[in-house]
Structure formats: structure tokens, C-alpha cells
Chain A
């Protein structure tokens, strides 16, 4: 008869065993990984670990907070709003667009002397530098000195891409709206004479921006030649190659320009304007006394309810004046401590009852 085989032996789900009994075993490997036996650390939140955590956080945060708060308070800072919305303000006259150029002077007094390097900022409020359409309205290729982008700026720059059939350099809404007030500072001397204070305009931008991200169009020609074929942004008075007389601070690598191009995160912001370097150890950089702030008022913000400020500030290890961090740290530290106490009480009240019902094996 035909082949005789036993179904029972054959259909067992396994592969057919080759004769000779050398069947390959399909036993899974006995490795810790495959058997899910990897050595492991199992953290458990118990009263012994959680409560101390809360107290320790409290104990660490409160001193840090106090430290930050004190440091922040020791920073000298003065903020002067020169928008001129108030009729009594010297700059009130400049609100009208007809007066050009409009120069106004604000005097102020420093009660305490500013020591060390002093930073001079301009601050804007209600200015939406973080609006999406504003943020993207630039051509980084152009700013990086790409010759093709110089003459053919990105579409993102619309409507500040071309003017009178010429490409705008630098193109875009950001560049177009560049802050162009000029601020000067004078110290009122003993005999009411005005001593100008040296304002350093280099070193206010990031090194990477100044040296890597922003570059003038390549070439050895004078800047004017290199920017040939382009036109200035609509709002600007001067073309980009006339921003400064210093070759290292002109064109796209002008630091005021670079600072402006680094858009702000929030509608109220300050940007570094000038540095006042300390003179020597004996004299404070800005001694207490009266000062004049001379403003060439070019930048209109009144139409959209904006505000302009001038800020003088010293810095500490943790930057400028910032009461928020200190207060936040103290608050969180206290809350943590309080929570720790509350949890301790709750734990005492309930844990005893639940622990007695421990598992009996």
C-alpha cells in the first residue's frame, strides 16, 4: 500500500524533526533581556523619601531665592520713558510728524552712583516684534552676504522686497522698522556744564551674529559699490552702507542693526543700545548726580500706542535686574516647605491606619 504515516506524529506544530534526533530546539534564549529579568532599580515614593524631598527643596530654594532677590535689588537701574505722550514731557512736541529732525532733552537724577560697566538700553512696549509675519519678514541669505539674495531677496520680505524696481537691502519688515532714535548722555557737572559720556557702540551684538550670521556682500570694493543695484528700506533715511563711518560697523554688520534684527520674544522688550565702560577703580562709572538725555526723536510709536524708554543698568553674575526669579524661588521654596508639613500631618494621620493592614504572606 501507499505510504503509511501517522498523522499524530506529524502534525504537531513543530518543524519536522530530521532523522537522527538532532532536532534543533526552539527554546528561547535564556537572556535577562528576553526573559525580562534585567536588573532594575525600583524607586518607590515613601514617606521616608518624599517628605525630606519637600523639605530639602524648600530649604534650598528659599536661600537661593533670597540670594537672587538681594543680588537683583543691588543692581542699579533707571528707566526713563521718553515717548512724550504727556504734554508736560519735553518730547511732546516730537509726536507730530512734521517736526524733523526733532531733538528733545530729558534731564534726570541718579540718586546712587552706578559702578562697573553700565549698559544702556532702549525699550519698546506694545511693539509686536514677535508677530509671525514680522518675524519671518527677512532674508537671512541676504544678511549673510549672499550676492544673489542681495539682488533677489526672498519672497518672505514682501511687501518690503523691492522698491522702485530695485531690491531692498536689507529687505523685510524687520529691517524696515529699525529703531533709529539717537540717544546721547550728558553729565551735568558742578558748574552746570555738560560733560558728554562716552557711549561705546561696539560689542553690543553677539559675537556669532556679528562675525558669522551677518556679513556684508563679498568683495574688496567700498561698501557702496558692493551694495550697488539695491535701494534702501522705505523707512530709512540713509542706505545701509551709510549706517556708520567705521568700516567694521557698517552695512549689514552694523551692531545697532544686528541687535534690532534679533527680534524680541515679547511685545515689551529692551535692546542693548550702548555700553558705558567703567573708567577705573576709583571713580564710579556714573556718579550720582544730574544727567541730560539728548534724544533725536525719529521713531514714531504713538500711532499704535507704543512706548519708548531709555534704561541704564549695571549687571551682576545673574545678569540684569530681575525681581521675578528671586520672588518665584522664595515662593516655590515656601510652598514646598508648607506642602511638606501638610503631607507630614496627613501621613501621620492616615499612614498608621493603613500600615497596620500590611500584607500578610
Chain B
């Protein structure tokens, strides 16, 4: 028994947390110790508890470990119990329930189960895959919009099978519905569905026309009932969205590799020192037993050396600093907050600030090389605007370029027309004046617009027309006609009612010559009230030109000029024409038409031949230009990103024409490009051939064996290989559609595709399924050592957002699917350049500086022990006080480095945006890589050498000879040196890349952090070495009085100054020489010296060449639907529906 329900909407908290109050602590600890680093420190702790090898007090590890664990635990706690507000997902709940009382119950979508019957209403977003049973529209048609799924904005029709549509909204019948559906198992094919409905002993075939998919929006349909087939993860959209994987950055991977390297290095060191110990024990220790006997358990120096190995393992563990991971997290968190706080990424109209939904990917934003962008809703606003027109050779509508986009313009007053759409705006008064004057051609032009279309109108309130257009272009055209006084008011299957300048006229609709992809035009034939038969045709200019009557040749030339202008503004154009038909001729044609329609064989062909017979000798009316409105700043953004050597690929579900048009409009394709390749083969061979020939053209010789990449590929067939960058001979573009892509993504062709596509400056993939989008992203990820970013707004982008290294969600017009699975979210495409060039670049620089510095400071810190080993009998004696070791990473050096990595800016934001070239080093990962790491290691070794031998020279055989004073000198020098290193440092890099380890940007906070922490060190020093503390715990705090006695010795300060200078001199020299040989540093320095450049307005070049921009994003078959009368609502008496209400 199934009953139904109606929807209302409620906020719903989606709790994703695995914790609750009770299990938090044990579970969190368990999880934390699963991390390698933490487990390692736990292991170290156990080692330290073994007295025989314990070379460090237990608290040196416990204190940092506790701090680290509690910071992470607090972070986890906050994210588990105080999730950021965005986790609150608004879900629609439309209802469902199985109770015997046959009521309509409201339920949350979350609770909807397979087999429930639910009721959907107009404008609802469907969140399950639903088999349509019945709807309010005639023939149980239901209109849906699938922009979320495929990016197409036109309406689509679904129809219920007749048996179920009879139930309409009769609750009794519906609740008694006991059909059984057998269907395929959940899969990701959006355009296929097969199943059988067994109902009342009969079987009915089900196909995808009966299925409303999750992510669709119900339009133009008051209500419909459906049976839930798939829910949640089984739905087609979710099946397409790919697995969400935990994303880690390249730096993360590098860090893990480096930590392994350090482990190896550590092992080697310990081994060497153990060998040293063995030799020492044999040569010296053995004889020194008078004063220092071997322990009972030590039988030989080999055994002793084995113990020493582990003792050194404990001492040198600070090379793998426990605080590394925590500090990295803190830095990333801080940089994420900067993104959230950025006012320049706040979108006022939607009250929507940018959101860093993931806090672990920041530095990757500074390394992006490929951007995969959706088109609809991301690049475009998904709004069509009637922008200009050319009527009878006269151009109306002002040029965008001459006006400038931002100059306020005066809107045309349409108050003379009561039926005008208030939202429509037009800026050329002359056209209105001409209309009012009653110009014949202009009237005919608008009449044609108001007649020749497949729009359906709705007039719920008198005078308030709502158009349901199948494509937004058409909607824009009919709305334009409506505003200028030719209002399309309603239609039946045989008539069209038009209000012409206030007068209602009814045209008889004789035929609709429907649109098809090959025809690229549509026509209507109408009989006017004056009994004239007119044919109105609109279509692509390239097609329509050939059908014109020879007499309008001169007009055609002028109009073509205008079309060129339109195209150069990136507008979508259409040509309009008409023809007056002779009644007899039409009768004759009509007969042929009916015959053709009835013929069984080759019907399509025959019909189109018949159509061609009548669609000729047309008289040109004019042309329209529609702006597919781009989001603000899109072309500028793409230009900037291109300069930063970021490649942009558009992956869209939309048609090729529309996609290419947008690609030109937003600078992805340029007219200066040498060639644009189109891949549209229908099988693997042709596609492969097309790809290969394209590559041959871009880089002659690239198909030969001798090509380095080819020979590389033949020699290295192991799967995880990367294809090196290939440089084409010019700038090229590539267009590939979904069908060809399916072939290209198969097996051996994927490499061809990748190599060809990666050489192109811009790539457009159209007609893509969501899964294909992900596949393309995966392909690039797999074979290219680059960081990819996917940006999109719809449910169809979820898969690629999840697949890419970084997913960016545009919080678009509808739905939040994309945003919810994204890592970063904002509401305008143009914020992308700020995210990458400013925040990404800073984050990357900061992270790199942090890592180099962090590794350096720990090497310098730890390796001093190694030098000391040579003078302390390799006995694993530490140089420093144990408390210094405990606090070194935690307190003494953490603040300066945090200051560095949270506040540093090598160049300010204005310069980052002005010189996108500054972004390039990040893409090649120049600022921190294995080479840089080795440099850090060498630098650390040098510093530790200086830091040990200068103090040693100072105290050697002198009156300050005691160990504790020596410790104090070394640790004070160390701290001064590493702190100085923050403020002045090194620059490294190769091939123009560079990093300055120094803080280049000194804010007050950096000052406080740096000097404060140095001062803090001395305070702690006096505290730790104070009488009281030492008397309370004499065994733990042994350094009583050392600070007082040693800090006033001049030798000590002379030695500290000497260490600092000796550590800094080579660094300063190196850094000074660097810009002489690497000019990019010069540029950065220049930028630093001149904080504010003069703003330059990017001048947008508009493409000059002509493109056939056919404006229909249309589907075939609507014409037939209209003439058959199915779309016309029967004026059924409205039933009293009060009993549905709650």
C-alpha cells in the first residue's frame, strides 16, 4: 500500500561526523596514532623508557606529542561538533510514506525510499530517479530542465505511459497502484534506461523518456506523481559523480618522501655514530673504566654500539620534527581563513563570500596548470539577451565596444505597451521610434519573431505572460518582440494569438517546419487575418543566405556586414526571412507534405526535401544578435590565467556551436590562432587519425620515431609514467565532441588525445557526460605531472570536481551539488584569478618558505649532536639542555616561522595580478622540491658545523669549560642564527625560479613574533634555570644558575655574534648574487619596491572574423508536438485541491 504526500521544505542538518561525545577521545586518539608520524613518536617514547638506551628524558617527546595530539584533537573536535555553517544542506522534502490511511504525508527527501509514490510540483528539484506516473499536463507530459545534468538549458519533455497516466491525481487509484517494476541495476548512463512495468497482468516497456532523473527541475507542470526507482547513491547522477577521494597535495606527497629520506639519513647517521662508538670504546672507553666502568649488561663494545645506535636514534629524532605536520595544518588553516575573509571574493548580490571548504589544499592553488571549466553557469550566466538587430539593412542596438561595458545607459521606455516584460531592457531608442512610426519592415520583422517559434505561453494572471521557451535564445527573441509591441499571447494547435501594437490578431498556423540539426533553421506557415499565406523562416545565416531570393542581394551584403559586427562582439546570430505564398502553391505543397509525413520509408529525408521546396526564394528581413551573457570579467580572467600559462579546457554537455561561440567570446579561442582542429570521428580509427594529423601539424615530426616523446614512450612502458611537456609550433585550438571522445578515451588512443590536446592552447569538449568530464581530468592527472583544477556549478560537474586535484564550485543559480563536493566555492568565475594568482601564489610561497626553513632549522639544531659525538666518546650525549630540546620546535622557533608563513608576501596582490608570469615557478614546483631539500640539508649541515665549532673554539681549554655553559652558548647561538635566518636568508631556485627564505614582508605581527620569541627564550631560560624550580626538582632542572653565570661573560657574546655572522655571510652573499643571474627575482624586487602599479585596463580584443553562430540550442521535435496539440492545455475545470494541503 502506498500513499502520497506533498512537499514542503525544511532545513536539514546532515551530520557527517563519526564521533559522538563518548567515543570522541578514544576514537580520535586511535585515528591519530594511525598516522605514521604519530606512531613513530609513540615508538620513540617507548624507546626512551628503556633506561639502557634512553639518551633523552621522556618529557622531551611527551610534551611535544601531547601538544600536537591535543591541537589535532581540538581541530577534529571543532569540525565534528561545530561544523561550518555550510554543512547545513537545504533539502527539499516532498514526501512519501506508506500508511493505510491514504493521506498525503510530507517527508524529508532523506527518508524517501524506493517504491514510494511521491508528488512533485512545479520548480521542484528532483532528488531521486523517478518513474513518471501521471501529471497535470495533457497526455501526462512533464517538462523538465536538465541544466544541472548536462548544462543544456532548454526544456525537455517526459511522458508517462498511458496506463498510469489515467490515474491522474486520483489518490485512491494511486494508492491502490500495485504495479511491479523490473529494471536495470543502478548505472551511470544518463540517457539510457530499460525496464518493465508489470501492472494488471500486462507488461509495459519502460525507457528513459519515462524517467525523471535526480537533479532535474520540474518546469511548466503543476504537479506530477512518480514512483521512486533509485534513491541516493543509486541515482544516475550520483553514479556519475565519481568517488570522492581524500585529496592530498603534491607537497604532502613530497613531504612524505622527504620524511622517508630523513629516516634513511637518520639511520645512516646512527649507524656511523654507532661504529664510531665501537671504535671509541675499543680504543679509549675500555681503558677509561677506572673512572667510568661499563655497565654490567655490556659485555663487549659491539653490544654497547648497538645500544648507542638506538640512543642516537632518539637524540636525532628531531630531524623528523613532530610539529611539522601540525604546523603545516595550522598554516593551511590560516591561509584558508584568508580566502574566507577576502572581501574581493565576496559577491554582494548573493551575499556570498568565498569559502575554502577544504583546508588542506591551499598551496596547490599556487601550482595549477590545467583548469577544466564547465560552460553553462560557470563561464556564462545562462541568460540570453536580445542585444541588437539589423532590420532591412539598418542596424539597431548600440555597440558594446563603443559604449564601454560600464557606462550607465538609458533604458528604452516600453510603457506604451501594457504587456511588456518589465525585466527586458534595450538601449537604442531609435528602434522604438521606428516601431511607433509603423515602419513596414520593422513590423514584419517583429511579427516574424512573434510567430516563428515553438514557445508556449502561460497567462495565470491577466496581462502577466510567462513564456516557456524550449531554448533561452528563442525565449529572448519572443520576449523582444513582445516588448516592442508584437506580443505572442497564446496558441492552440491551429492558431497563434498575437497582440500587434495593442490589436489582437489571430493567425492560423498552417505548418511548422521544424528545426533539425542538419537544417539549422525552422519555419512557420501562417494565414493572416487578411487571408495572406506567409512563411516565416529563421535560421543560421550560412544556411539562410543560400535560400534567399536573388532580389535581396544588396540587402544581404549589408546584413552580412552587420552579422560580422555581431559575431565580432561574440553575439549569437540568427537570420530572419519571409516569403509570401500563393494559395494554390501552398495547397499543392501541403498535399506533398502530408504524403511525406505518412510515408513509411525514409520519411525524414522525404520531409526535408518537401521542406526545401517551400523554403526558397525567401525575402530577407534582417538578423538578430543575442548575447549569451558571460559572467562579469570572464574574458579578462581567462586572459590573465593564460598569461600565467594556465591552460583552460572547457568541458560542457552543451552543443558544439554554443560551446565554440562562448570559447571565442571569452578568449579561450582567438582569431589569431593558427588553426582549430575539430575531432568528430565516429570510430576509433578516424578519431585517432584526426588526432595524429593535428599533432603533426602542430609539431612537425612529432609522429616520427625520432621524436623524443615517442622514443620515450617506446622505451618506458610502465604505467605510472609522465609525459613531458611538448611545445607546438604555434597556437592551436582543439574541439572534440563527446562521441569522438568516447573513442579517444579508449585504450591506446588516450595518449594520442592527451598529447594532442595538451599542445593546444585551448580545448573545447562538448556533449560530454559527467563521467567523461571526470575521465578527461583523470587522463591529464594520470599522464601529466601537473596540478589540475575543475570548476563548475552543476550536478554534472560533480564528477570532475571530485576527480581534479582541486575542485571549485560556483554557487550558481540552482542546486548546490557542485558546491557541496567542491574544495573551494564562490559565486563568480572571475574570482578564480584571485584565488589562484593571489591566494594560491601566496599560500604556495609561504608553504615552500616554511618547509625549507623548517627542515633547515631542524637540521641545524640536530646535527650539532653529531659533531659533538666526536668529542664525547660517541656516547649519545646531547649538546643542549633537555628542556631546550623539548621547547625548541614547540615554543622557541614556532612563532617566527608561523609569522613567516602566515604573513609573508613577496609581492602584493596588485602585482601578482598584473604579472601573472610570477605564477609560473609554482607550476614547475621550483620553490620546494628535492633539490631545494638537499640545499636545506647542506645549509643545515654548514650551520650546525659553525654552531658547534665556534663555541667549542671559544671554550676549548679555557676557564669556561663546563658542559652546561657550553650548552647555553650553543643553544643561544642556534636560536639567534635560526631567528636571524627568518629575517634575512637565502634565495634559491633554478631557471628563473626563486625562493627567498627570508621574510620579505615585515608586518607588526612578524616583528612581535620574531623578537618576542627571542625575548621569550631568555625569559624561559631564566625561569628554567631559576633557584626555585631547580630546588623543587633538582634532578629534572639541573641547569641552576647557568644563565646568571654565563650570560654575563663577554666570550659568550663574542662567540654568539661570530656564529651569527659566519652563518649569515654566505647566505647574504648568495642571495645578493642571485638576482644578477635570475632576472625574475629582479622583477619581484622591482615589484616590492613599487608597491602600487598604475592600473591598466585590459583591453579586450574582439574577434574580428565571422563565425556562424547559430543560436538555437534547440531540440528537434517540438514543432510536431505543438501541431499535434499535445502541449496545449485543456481548460479543465480546476479541482478543489484544498484537501492536499496540510
Question: Interface on A for B, CB 8 Å cutoff?
Answer: 1-8, 10-15, 17, 23, 25-30, 34-36, 38-47, 50, 53-54, 57, 61, 64, 68, 119, 121, 123, 126-135, 137, 139-141, 143-144, 146, 154-155, 158-159, 173, 176-177, 206-209, 212-213, 262-272, 300, 303-305, 313, 315, 317-322, 324-325, 328-329, 332, 335-336, 339, 343, 346-347, 350-351, 354, 357-359, 361
Contact = CB atoms under 8 A, between A and B. Distances in A.
Which 10 pairs from chain A and chain B are nearest by CB?
Answer: A208-B1041, A265-B966, A13-B811, A140-B1034, A34-B341, A177-B291, A38-B1003, A132-B875, A304-B287, A324-B953
Contacts of A177: 290-292
B1061 A332 contact: yes
B1041 A206 contact: yes
A213 B1086 contact: no
Contacts of A6: 123
A197 to B, nearest CB: 20
Interface string B965-993: 11100000000000000011000000000
B292 A354 contact: no
B605 interface: no
Nearest to A320: B959
Given A303-B290, A346-B1073, A2 B875 contact: no
Contacts of B950: 328
Q: How large is the interface on B (under 10, 10 to 19, 20 to 34, 35 or more residues)?
A: 35 or more
Interface stretch (B2-10, B233-241, B254-262): B2-10
A146 to B, nearest CB: 7
A121 B962 CA distance: 14
Contact of A40 (B905, B956, B1079): B905
A105 to B, nearest CB: 25
A269 B952 CA distance: 11
Contact of A213 (B875, B1030, B1058, B1077): B1030
Given A2-B1140, A3-B7, A264-B963, A212 B348 contact: no
A207 B1040 CA distance: 11
A14 B983 CA distance: 43
A335 to B, nearest CB: 7
Interface in B1020-1049: 1027, 1030-1031, 1034-1035, 1038, 1040-1041, 1044-1045, 1049
Contacts of B296: 159
A271 B959 CA distance: 7
Contact of B340 (A7, A23, A28, A271): A28
A161 B953 CA distance: 36
Given A128-B285, A131-B877, 7 more contacts: A2-B119, A4-B122, A27-B353, A28-B343, A208-B1044, A319-B1049, A325-B954
B1065 A57 contact: yes
B341 A35 contact: yes
Contacts of B119: 2
A44 B1002 contact: no
Interface string B1112-1142: 0000000000000000000000000100110
A259 to B, nearest CB: 9
Most chain B CB within 10 A, of A64, A68, A208, is at A208
B350 interface: yes
Interface string B925-965: 00000000000000000000000001011111111111111
Contacts of B1019: none
Nearest to B1142: A2
Contacts of B121: 1-4
Nearest to B838: A36
A42 B1000 contact: yes
A7 B1030 contact: no
B267 interface: no
Given A38-B1003, A132-B55, A27 B343 contact: yes
B963 A130 contact: yes
A42 B871 contact: no
Contacts of B875: 128, 130-134
A328 B953 contact: yes
A323 to B, nearest CB: 10
Contact of A328 (B1058, B1065, B1086): B1058
Nearest to B1082: A354
A312 B1041 CA distance: 26
A322 B1051 contact: yes
Interface hub of B291, B340, B958, B1068 (most chain A Cβ within 10 A): B291
B33 interface: no
Contacts of B1137: 1-2
A58 to B, nearest CB: 10
B956 A319 contact: no
Contacts of B965: 265
A140 B1038 CA distance: 8
B1075 interface: yes
B814 A7 contact: yes
Contacts of A270: 957-959, 961
B1054 interface: yes
A207 to B, nearest CB: 8
Interface stretch (B69-77, B724-732, B1087-1095): B1087-1095
Given A304-B287, A319-B959, A361-B1094, A339 B953 contact: no
A339 B1004 contact: no
Contacts of A29: 341
Contact of B1085 (A28, A44, A133): A44
Given A2-B7, A36-B338, A270-B961, A50 B1030 contact: no
A299 B222 CA distance: 108
A45 B652 CA distance: 49
Contacts of B1061: 57, 61, 332, 336
B124 A347 contact: no
B348 A27 contact: yes
B872 A11 contact: no
Given A50-B1072, A132-B877, A208-B1027, A266 B343 contact: no
B516 to A, nearest CB: 31
A178 B174 CA distance: 102
Nearest to B1046: A206
Given A30-B343, A270-B961, A11 B1034 contact: no
